[in-house]
C-alpha cells in the first residue's frame, strides 16, 4: 500500500511534542528565510537554535514557530549582574517578542559535565538574573529559563530506578532543581542512545538503542517495562531528581539523534541506522507516548539536527547528524520516493512526497 501525497515528516503536523535543532556551524547553510520555508513545508513548529541570531529571529517573525534560543556559555559571567541581564533581555528578546514565539531560553549548554567549576557556580545565578529580567519586562509568564544537560551528568542510568547524579555536581544540580521547581521550567536533557551503543556494542542491543520494538527489559525495582533506551534514559533522570527530593519536574529531550556517517571506530554511525532511529522516534511521537514512569505525559523531544554542519569540530559523526544537506537534499533515504526526496532551498519548499507504507 502507498500513502500518497504526504510531506516528509508529514506527521509533524500531528506531533506537537516533536521539534528540531537548527545549528549553524557551517559555511554553506541556507539563509534563515529559506530554512523557515523548509520547516513550514515539513510542518515543524518547534525549533531550538544555539544563539539569538537576529537574522533568524527576524525571519521567524509571524511564522507561528515556537523558538528556544540560547545564551552561549561564554556569556554567563557577564549576566551575573542583574542590570546586564536586563539589558541582554531588552536587546535580544524584547524587540522580537511576541512576533517571534520565543518560548524558552537555554542558558548555556552541557555546563554540568564540563570541567569549568567557575562556570558551574555562575550558571544558576545567571539563570535567576535572566528569569528576573524577563519578569521585569513582562515576559516571565511566557518564556521559561533552563539549561540543556548531557546525560553524562548521571552517575548511574540503568536500571532507570538506579538513576542518580554524580556526587561532584549534586550540589549544583540541587540548586538547579530548586530553580526549576520554583519557576515551573523543564529539565532539558541531551540524550543519545547512539553514544551508549557505540561505546558498548557487545553489551547493548542495537534494536534497543534504535528504538525498535523489542522484548521488554524489566526494571527489577519498579517492574516497569522498557523497550527502548531513550525512555530508560529519561526515566533515569526523573529517578535521579527524586533522589534529591524533587518530584513533578517535567523532563524534555533537548537533543537526540543518530549520525549517518562516522569514522572507522564510530560503530553504528551509518545512514541506515540514522533513518531507523528517526523513523522510530517519529512513530512513537505520533502515538503520543510517554515514558514507562510517566506514561500519560507526552515526552517533548527535539531532533538533532536539521542540517549537516561542515564546520563542526571533532569526529566525522559530529558533521553528519543532519536530516538534510545544506542544499536541501535529504542526507539519507528515509523510505521516501527517490524521485521526490528533496526540497529545493532556492524556491518555495512545498513539494509533496510519497511515503511507502512499509517504511513506517
Q: Which of 25-29, 107-111, 137-141, 332-336 has the lowest mean pLDDT?
A: 332-336
Quick one: average pLDDT of 256-275? 98
pLDDT for 213 equals 85
Q: Specify whether the CB–CB gap between 93 and 145 falls below 8 A.
A: no
pLDDT for 351 equals 33
Strands 18-22 and 301-303: parallel
Asked whether the predicted pLDDT for residue 8 surpasses 60, the reply is no
Indicate the pLDDT class of residue 350, thresholds 50, 70 and 90: very low
Would you tell me the crossing angle of helices 82-92 and 117-136 to the nearest 10 degrees? 60
Written out in words, the top-level CATH class of the domain with range 18-150+164-205+249-324 is alpha beta
Q: Is 168 a catalytic residue?
A: no
Catalytic residue from among 37, 66, 255, 266: 255
- The beta strands (E) that lie in 27-168 are given as 46-49, 66-71, 101-107, 144-146, 148-150, 154-156, 164-165
Quick one: average pLDDT of 227-242? 98
pLDDT for 4 equals 28
Q: 280-336: per-residue pLDDT in tens?
A: 999 999 899 999 999 999 999 999 999 999 999 999 999 999 999 999 899 987 643
CA–CA separation, 171 vs 165, rounded Å?
10
Nearest by Cα to 228 from 256, 187, 259, 265? 256
Indicate the pLDDT class of residue 42, thresholds 50, 70 and 90: confident
pLDDT for 334 equals 64
Q: Is 358 a catalytic residue?
A: no
CA–CA separation, 19 vs 255, rounded Å?
10
Quick one: average pLDDT of 207-232? 94
Q: Specify whether the CB–CB gap between 84 and 78 falls below 8 A.
A: yes
Asked whether the predicted pLDDT for residue 146 surpasses 60, the reply is yes
Asked whether the predicted pLDDT for residue 9 surpasses 60, the reply is no
CA–CA separation, 44 vs 34, rounded Å?
14
pLDDT for 359 equals 27
Q: Specify whether the CB–CB gap between 14 and 286 falls below 8 A.
A: yes
Q: Specify whether the CB–CB gap between 247 and 177 falls below 8 A.
A: no
Catalytic residue from among 37, 66, 72, 110: 110
Nearest by Cα to 67 from 177, 147, 180, 144? 144
Q: Which residues contact 232 (CB under 8 A, 6 or more apart)?
A: 157, 158, 159, 160, 217, 226
Quick one: average pLDDT of 23-41? 95
Amino acid at each position: 500500500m502507498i500513502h500518497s501525497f504526504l510531506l516528509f515528516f508529514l506527521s509533524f503536523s500531528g506531533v506537537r511534542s516533536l521539534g528540531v535543532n537548527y545549528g549553524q556551524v557551517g559555511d554553506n547553510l541556507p539563509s534563515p528565510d529559506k530554512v523557515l520555508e523548509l520547516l513550514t513545508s515539513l510542518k515543524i513548529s518547534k525549533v531550538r537554535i544555539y544563539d539569538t541570531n537576529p537574522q533568524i529571529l527576524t525571519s521567524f517573525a509571524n511564522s507561528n514557530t515556537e523558538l528556544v534560543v540560547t545564551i552561549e556559555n561564554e556569556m554567563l559571567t557577564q549576566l551575573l549582574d542583574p542590570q546586564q541581564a536586563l539589558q541582554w533581555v531588552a536587546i535580544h528578546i524584547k524587540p522580537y517578542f511576541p512576533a517571534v514565539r520565543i518560548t524558552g531560553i537555554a542558558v548555556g549548554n552541557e555546563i554540568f559535565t564540563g570541567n569549568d567549576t567557575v562556570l558551574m557556580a555562575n550558571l544558576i545565578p545567571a539563570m535567576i538574573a535572566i528569569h528576573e529580567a524577563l519578569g521585569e519586562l513582562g515576559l516571565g509568564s511566557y518564556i521559561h529559563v533552563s539549561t540543556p544537560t548531557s546525560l553524562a551528568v548521571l552517575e548511574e542510568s540503568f536500571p532507570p530506578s538506579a538513576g542518580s547524579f554524580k556526587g561532584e555536581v549534586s550540589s549544583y544540580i540541587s540548586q538547579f532543581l530548586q530553580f526549576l521547581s520554583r519557576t515551573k521550567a523543564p529539565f532539558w536533557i541531551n540524550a543519545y542512545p547512539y553514544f551508549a551503543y557505540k561505546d558498548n556494542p557487545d553489551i547493548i542491543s542495537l534494536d534497543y538503542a534504535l528504538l525498535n520494538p523489542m522484548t521488554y527489559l524489566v526494571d527489577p525495582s519498579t517492574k516497569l517495562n522498557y523497550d527502548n533506551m531513550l525512555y530508560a534514559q529519561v526515566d533515569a533522570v526523573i529517578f535521579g531528581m527524586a533522589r534529591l527530593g524533587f518530584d513533578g519536574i517535567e523532563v524534555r529531550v533537548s537533543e537526540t539523534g543518530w549520525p549517518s556517517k562516522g569514522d572507522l571506530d564510530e560503530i553504528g554511525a551509518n545512514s541506515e541506522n540514522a533513518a531507523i532511529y528517526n523513523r522510530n522516534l517519529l512513530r512513537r511521537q505520533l502515538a503520543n507516548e510517554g515514558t514507562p514512569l510517566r506514561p500519560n505525559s507526552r515526552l517533548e523531544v527535539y531532533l538533532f539536527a536539521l542540517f549537516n554542519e561542515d564546520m563542526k569540530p571533532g569526529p566525522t559523526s559530529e558533521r553528519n547528524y543532519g536530516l538534510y544537506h545544506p542544499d536541501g537534499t535529504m542526507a539519507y533515504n528515509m523510505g521516501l520516493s527517490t524521485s521526490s526526496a528533496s526540497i529545493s532551498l532556492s524556491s518555495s519548499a512545498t513539494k509533496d512526497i510519497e511515503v511507502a507504507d512499509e517504511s513506517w
